[in-house]
């Protein structure tokens, strides 16, 4: 009998046993909710509490995004996730010449406290969980969030959510970095230290493998590079004078979930096991929660196709199932039209319904780690764990993640993996339905969300309004104080909070830090 393929392996290139058996695994007696947490971070997992269902939203203006948030909350969503436009991600105001053509395009434009008020109008910030995908100016956006919560009369000690605040992956895979690495790390540790004392329920960093994977990394590389970055953050926080148990329990992670169903589920199990090992070996924390890896998952945007876009609903459904079987704490399901444009309200609702059907109709939430004991999954878990650990050690030998990325090591590895995947698709050794297999001659009639071309003008008018409302001498003093503190070891968060409260813009605060920190370009890896 002729086999369907010459070689069977995962999408990440891991070997697959033709008939997995007991000989392929070495399963230790492990329990959910107990170290090393391979089987999940909670004993009862989804039996007692479902994962948080987030939908990433942000487009056009803060007012338009607020309407989408209110709609999602009314439809049963349990957490908000904010996408920012490119100028905001880079800490630039909408009237900056370099923002031309990008305002409100891939997310919401936030220039000042006026926009943040509008974004969360009628949403009590101490009663909702919010994730903000922001990195270089994360400390500014969180300050805006805190300021608005205070204006609402809320208890800022009870705000819950996450700022991504993961700058290392920007140097490695995504590119929205601004400051040199050392200064960027200082902003991260300032945020960690401030929140530990004032916002104890806030996750101060979400170490992201998602963008590393979207750039072309394999599952093993995604895990290794993400955990290696996390170790760099832990080292930086300890060097800044923090105790590991003061911040490590609030670390969170963010992974992508791709098409290889079992490889992805095993990756999540391996991530928990490996993080527990690394934290225990290197830092000997007293609090077991410091060794517990909690993570958010997003289905893989890079797997979505503009060809036959309705097929993406199926892709997203399988990826979501894999993430849940892997034990995720929160989940975002992509909309089927994202390869065409920003999601519409209809496609976003279908994406949310996908999660709700998974939670309420399939029965998968009733069983804790249902894949445990599977020879195939256990073998993949072990293999991913071992290979990722070896790769982390290799990065350690270069001086750690920060030193390695300055030499372009991670970037180079990702480029090589991405090139291999491209060649596999072009040669059809990797089939993509609708692209190189099961194709049809059709033109999609689906149109993505349309962006109002007048948004930039509207944001510029808002910035004019901001300047009319404020006292320029107070603003100048606040910005001068940020420049002064940037040249010292003082925590910058209180100074930035004061600046947003007196109507300084995001760009003005960012430029004040640029005056002291400078800017930096990461090597491409080529």
Which value, in Å, is the radius of gyration of the alpha carbons in the chain? 23
What does each C-alpha distance from 7 to 3, 4, 14, 18 come to in angstroms? 9, 9, 11, 10
Q: Could you tell me the pTM of the whole model?
A: 0.90
8 A C-beta contact, residue 503 and residue 475: yes
Q: H or E segment at 57?
A: strand 52-57
pLDDT score for 525: 58
Can you give the length of the chain in residues? 526
Give the count of beta carbons closer than 10 Å to the beta carbon of residue 9. Answer: 12
* Cis geometry, peptide bond prior to residue 36 (ω within 30 degrees of 0): yes
Give the whole-angstrom CA distance, residue 118 versus residue 87. 18
The candidate with the shortest Cα–Cα distance to 33, out of 381, 372, 318, is 372
Strand 79-83 versus strand 129-133 pairing type: parallel
Token pair 């090992």: residue: 277
User: What string of pLDDT tens digits covers the 526 residues of the chain?
Assistant: 566 566 788 888 888 777 777 777 766 678 999 999 999 999 999 999 999 887 666 667 899 889 988 987 888 776 888 989 999 999 999 999 999 999 998 889 999 999 999 999 999 999 999 989 999 999 999 999 999 999 999 999 999 998 999 999 999 999 999 999 999 999 999 999 999 999 999 999 999 999 999 999 999 999 999 999 999 999 999 999 999 999 999 899 999 999 999 999 999 999 999 999 999 999 999 999 999 999 999 999 999 999 999 999 999 999 999 999 999 999 999 999 999 887 888 998 899 999 999 999 999 999 999 999 999 999 999 999 999 999 999 999 999 999 999 999 999 999 999 999 999 999 999 999 999 999 987 666 676 666 667 899 999 999 999 999 999 999 999 999 999 999 999 999 999 999 999 999 999 999 999 999 999 987 875 5
Q: What is the DSSP string of 63-105?
A: HHHHHHHHHHHHTT--EEEEEB-HHHHTT--TTSGGGTTTTTS
In this prediction, residue 57 carries a pLDDT of 60
Residues 226 and 208: beta-carbon distance below 8 Å: yes
Helix axis angle, 138-151 to 506-517, nearest 10°: 140
The answer to whether 164 and 132 have CB atoms below 8 angstroms apart is yes
In sequence order, the 6+-apart residues with CB closer than 8 A to the CB of 149 are 125, 126, 155, 156, 159
487 exposed, middle or buried (CB, 10 Å; 0-12, 13-18, 19+)? exposed
Evaluate whether 500 touches 143 at the Cβ level (below 8 Å). yes
Domains of the chain: 22-40+49-426 (3.20.20.240)
The tokens describing 60, both together, are 């056009």
Nearest Cα to 93, choosing from 402, 459, 361?
Answer: 459
Of the candidates 91, 328, 313, the residue with the CA atom closest to the CA atom of residue 209? 328
Helix/strand/coil percent split, the chain, to 5: 50, 10, 40
Distance CA 356, CA 504 (A): 41
Q: Cα–Cα distances in Å, from 428 out to 5, 10, 188, 216?
A: 12, 16, 43, 18
Alpha helices in 2-152 (DSSP H): 62-74, 86-89, 113-119, 138-151
467: tokens are 């300047």
Residues 518, 429: Cα–Cα separation, whole Å: 46
The CA-based diameter of the chain, rounded to the nearest angstrom, is 83
User: Sheet harboring 206-208: ordered strands across?
Assistant: 202-203, 160-163, 129-133, 79-83, 52-57, 330-332, 295-299, 252-257, 206-208
Residue 80 bridge partners (DSSP): 55, 130
Tokens describing residue 411: 């970037």
- How far apart CA 205 and CA 307 sit, in angstroms, is 36
Contact 109, 87 (CB under 8 A): yes
Residue 4 burial (CB count, 10 A):
5
**264 touches 377 (CB < 8 A):** no
Helix axis angle, 261-283 to 219-239, nearest 10°: 30
DSSP letters along 215-277, please? TT--HHHHHHHHHHHHHHHHHHHHHTT--HHHHGGG-EEEEEE-S-HHHHHHHHHHHHHHHHH
Start-to-end C-alpha separation, the chain: 44
The span from the CA of 86 to the CA of 175, in Å, is: 11
Q: Please give the full DSSP string across 374-401, using - where no structure is assigned.
A: -HHHHHHHHHHHHHHHHHHHHHHHTTSH
């Amino acid at each position: 009998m002729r086999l369907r393929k010459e070689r069977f392996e995962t999408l990440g290139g891991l070997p697959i046993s033709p008939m997995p058996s007991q000989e392929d695994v070495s399963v230790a007696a492990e329990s959910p909710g107990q170290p090393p947490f391979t089987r999940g971070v909670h004993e009862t997992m989804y039996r007692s509490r479902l994962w948080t269902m987030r939908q990433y939203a942000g487009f056009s203006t803060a007012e338009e995004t607020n309407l989408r948030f209110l709609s999602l909350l009314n439809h049963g969503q349990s957490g908000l996730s904010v996408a920012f436009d490119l100028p905001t991600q880079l800490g630039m105001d909408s009237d900056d010449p370099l923002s031309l053509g990008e305002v409100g395009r891939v997310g919401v434009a936030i220039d000042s406290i006026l926009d943040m008020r509008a974004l969360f109008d009628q949403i009590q910030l101490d009663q909702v969980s919010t994730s903000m995908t922001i990195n270089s100016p994360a400390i500014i956006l969180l300050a805006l969030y805190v300021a608005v919560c205070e204006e609402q009369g809320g208890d800022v000690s009870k705000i819950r959510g996450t700022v991504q605040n993961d700058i290392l992956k920007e140097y490695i895979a995504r590119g929205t970095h601004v400051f040199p690495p050392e200064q960027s790390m200082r902003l991260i540790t300032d945020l960690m230290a401030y929140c530990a004392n004032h916002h104890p329920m806030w996750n101060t960093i979400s170490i992201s493998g998602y963008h590393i994977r979207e750039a072309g990394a394999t599952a093993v590389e995604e895990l290794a590079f993400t955990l290696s970055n996390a170790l760099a953050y832990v080292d930086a926080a300890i060097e800044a004078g923090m105790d590991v148990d003061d911040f490590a329990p609030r670390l969170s992670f963010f992974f992508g979930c791709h098409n290889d169903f079992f490889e992805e589920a095993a990756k999540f199990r391996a991530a928990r096991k490996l993080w527990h090992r690394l934290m225990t070996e290197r830092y000997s924390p007293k609090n077991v929660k410091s060794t517990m890896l909690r993570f958010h998952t997003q289905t893989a945007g890079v797997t979505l196709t503009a060809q036959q876009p309705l097929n993406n609903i199926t892709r997203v459904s399988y990826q979501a199932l894999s993430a849940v079987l892997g034990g995720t704490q929160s989940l975002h399901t992509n909309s089927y039209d994202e390869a065409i444009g920003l999601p519409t309200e209809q496609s976003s609702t279908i994406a949310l319904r996908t999660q709700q059907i998974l939670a309420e109709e399939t029965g998968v939430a009733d069983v804790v780690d249902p894949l445990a004991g599977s020879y195939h999954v256990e073998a993949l878990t072990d293999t991913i764990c071992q290979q990722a650990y070896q790769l982390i050690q290799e990065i350690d030998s270069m001086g750690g993640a920060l030193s390695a990325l300055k030499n372009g090591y991670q970037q180079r590895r990702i480029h090589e993996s991405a090139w291999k995947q491209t060649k596999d698709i072009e040669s059809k050794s990797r089939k993509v339905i609708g692209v190189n297999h099961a194709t049809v001659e059709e033109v999609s009639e689906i149109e993505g969300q349309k962006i109002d071309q007048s948004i930039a003008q509207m944001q510029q008018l808002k910035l004019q309004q901001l300047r009319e409302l404020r006292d320029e001498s107070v603003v100048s003093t606040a910005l001068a104080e940020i420049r002064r503190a940037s040249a010292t070891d003082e925590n910058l968060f209180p100074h930035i909070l004061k600046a947003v409260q007196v109507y300084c813009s995001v760009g003005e605060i960012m430029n004040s830090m640029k005056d002291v920190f400078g800017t930096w370009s990461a090597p491409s890896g080529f």
